[in-house]
Chains A and B, each alone.
Chain A
Amino acid sequence: MKAAVVVFPGSNCDRDLAVAFERAGFDVSMVWHKDSVLPEGIDIVGVPGGFSYGDYLRCGAIAAQSPICQAVVEHANRGGYAMGVCNGFQILTETGVLPGALLRNAGLKYICRTVDLEVATADSVFTQGYAKGDVIGIPIAHHDGNYFADVETIAALKDQDRIAFTYGQNPNGSIDDIAGILSENRRVLGMMPHPERAADEGHGGTDGTAVFRALAGIVAAA
Chain B
Amino acid sequence: MKARVHVMLKNGVLDPQGEAVRHALGAMGFDKVEGVRQGKVIDLDLAAGATEADVTEMCEKLLANTVIESYSIEMQ
Which residue numbers of A lie inside 8 Å of B, CB to CB? 57-58, 61-62, 65, 93-94, 99-101, 103-108, 146, 148-150, 173
Return the CB mask of B28-66 against A: 1 if under 8 Å, else 0: 000000000000000000000000000000000111010
Whether B16 pairs with A93 at a CB distance below 8 angstroms is no
Interface string of B1-31 (1 = CB under 8 A from A): 0000000010001101100100000000000
The 6 A-B pairs with the shortest beta carbon distances in the complex, nearest first, are A101-B67, A101-B68, A104-B16, A108-B16, A106-B16, A101-B65
Q: Judging by beta carbons under 8 Å apart, are B67 and A61 in contact? A: no
Interface size on B, residues (CB 8 A): 12
Q: Which of A103, A146, A173 has the most CB of B within 10 A?
A: A103
Between A and B, 11 residue pairs with Cβ closer than 8 Å are A57-B62, A61-B65, A65-B62, A100-B67, A103-B14, A106-B16, A107-B16, A146-B14, A148-B14, A148-B67, A149-B67
- Beyond A108-B17, A146-B14, list 10 extra A-B contacts (CB 8 Å): A57-B62, A58-B65, A61-B62, A65-B61, A93-B67, A104-B16, A107-B16, A148-B68, A149-B67, A150-B67
Q: For A106, what are the chain B residues with a Cβ–Cβ distance below 8 Å?
A: 14, 16
Q: Determine the residue in chain A with the shortest Cβ distance to B67.
A: A101
**Chain B: which residue is nearest A153 at the CB level?**
B67
Which B-chain residue is minimally distant from A58 (CB atoms)? B65
Nearest chain-A residue to B10 (Cβ)?
Answer: A150
Across the interface, do A57 and B63 meet the contact criterion of CB distance under 8 Å? yes
With A108-B17, A108-B20: A103-B68 Cβ-Cβ less than 8 Å: yes
Q: How far is the CB of A69 from chain B (nearest CB, A)?
A: 12
**A93 surroundings in chain B (CB, below 8 A):** 67
In the complex, chain B residues whose CB is within 8 Å of the CB of A94: 65
Partner of A148, one of B13, B20, B61, B63: B13
